[in-house]
């Protein structure tokens, strides 16, 4: 017998997503057995039931502890453990067991490491690609403090999409501790310059923090200017009362408008819905952009 589905009636109707804890159990057990973390669990993603029931997950490498303290993010902060070399094989084994053809890998910010964790991204990605067939990898990276050598390392990994989330408009960058809007744009610019036609760049924005449409449009233009052609836009939802407050529940029609405006500006694929997240339905960015899943310049 399945557990009853839970609905949060404090949210507007378009955000009352049905959850099913039973749909998550097999996936959670596999991850636990493999000693793995996912951003889905650590960030309390609202899509976790849907994704886990379909055996989709975004692997969180380099531990579950972030060196920054962003006021919107549920990932715990503190002093992380050292780099776990075992996770290189652990992630690949999980990919093989799940039969994944598209894999998303991210990490917390690791400012304690000289390279920000770039070498581990490289090793995990290479290991997946060398030990599975017909599998593509997307990386969602921190800013590495703008270190060019670190950016080059992830570009050399073989990932087909490398994302870095801009998160919000410049006026609200107080929510991103130890990050700057300009540096995040520069990271995306360098990924594209170093990766050329072999790599697509991707970013994501939260809405509902008090941003205006004009501010959002300027961010769209800034992203296009640095060669970023994939974009995700979703509603910010506070993990608890201890985090940044939701200023507005943005209506579905505004998400549709943002998508239209972004596509008109030159984005190739935009996922703009209340529950969109940077790695949600990540495989669609290539499959809908290109029927045969091959990267074009």
228 is in an annotated binding site: no
Could you write out the three-class secondary structure of the chain?
Answer: CCCCCECCCCCCHHHCCCECHHHHHHHHHHHHHCCCEEHHHHCCCCCHHHHHHCCCCEEECCCCCECCCCCCCCCCECCCCCCCCCHHHHHHHHHHHHCCCEEEEECCCCCCCCCCCHHHHHHHHHHHHHHCCCCEEEEECCCHHHCHHHHHHHHCCCCCEEECCCECCHHHHHHCCCCCHHHHHHHHHHHHHHHHHHCEEEEEEEECCCCCHHHHHHHHHHHHHCCCCEEEEEECCCCCCCCCCCCCCCCHHHHHHHHHHHHHHCCCEEEECCCCCCCCCCCHHHHCCCCCCCCCC
272 is in an annotated binding site: no
66 is in an annotated binding site: yes
73 is in an annotated binding site: yes
φ, ψ (nearest 5 deg) of residue 200: -95, 145
Nearest to 183 by CA among 116, 269, 99, 275: 116
Measure Cα distances from 76 to 66, 80, 182, 233 in Å. 6, 10, 25, 24
51 is in an annotated binding site: yes
Sequence ranges of the binding site for [4Fe-4S] cluster: 40, 45, 51, 66, 70, 73, 279
Sequence ranges of the binding site: 40, 45, 51, 66, 70, 73, 279
């Amino acid at each position: 017998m399945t557990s009853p589905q839970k609905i949060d009636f404090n949210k507007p109707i378009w955000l009352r997503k049905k959850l099913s804890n039973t749909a998550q159990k097999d996936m959670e057990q596999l991850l636990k057995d493999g000693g793995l973390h996912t951003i889905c669990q650590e960030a309390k993603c609202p899509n976790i039931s849907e994704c886990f029931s379909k055996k989709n997950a975004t692997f969180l490498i380099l531990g579950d502890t972030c060196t920054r303290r962003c006021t919107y993010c549920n990932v715990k902060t503190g002093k992380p453990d050292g780099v776990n070399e075992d996770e290189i094989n652990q992630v690949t084994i999980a990919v093989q067991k799940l039969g994944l053809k598209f894999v998303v890998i991210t990490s917390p910010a690791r400012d304690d490491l000289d390279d920000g964790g770039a070498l581990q991204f490289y090793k995990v990605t290479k290991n997946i690609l060398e030990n599975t067939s017909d599998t593509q990898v997307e990386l969602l990276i921190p800013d590495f403090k703008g270190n060019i050598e670190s950016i080059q390392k992830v570009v050399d990994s073989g990932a087909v999409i490398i994302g870095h989330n801009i998160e919000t408009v410049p006026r609200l960058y107080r929510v991103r501790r130890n990050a700057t809007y300009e540096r995040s744009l520069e990271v995306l610019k360098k990924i594209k310059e170093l990766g050329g036609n072999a790599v697509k760049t991707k970013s994501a924005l939260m809405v509902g923090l008090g941003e205006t449409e004009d501010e959002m449009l300027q961010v769209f233009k800034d992203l296009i200017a640095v060669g970023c052609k994939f974009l995700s836009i979703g509603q910010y939802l506070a993990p608890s009362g201890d985090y940044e407050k939701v200023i507005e529940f943005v209506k579905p029609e505004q998400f549709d408008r943002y998508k239209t405006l972004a596509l008109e500006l030159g984005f190739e694929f935009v996922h703009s819905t209340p529950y969109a997240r940077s790695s949600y339905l990540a495989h669609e960015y290539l499959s809908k952009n290109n029927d045969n899943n091959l990267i074009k310049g």
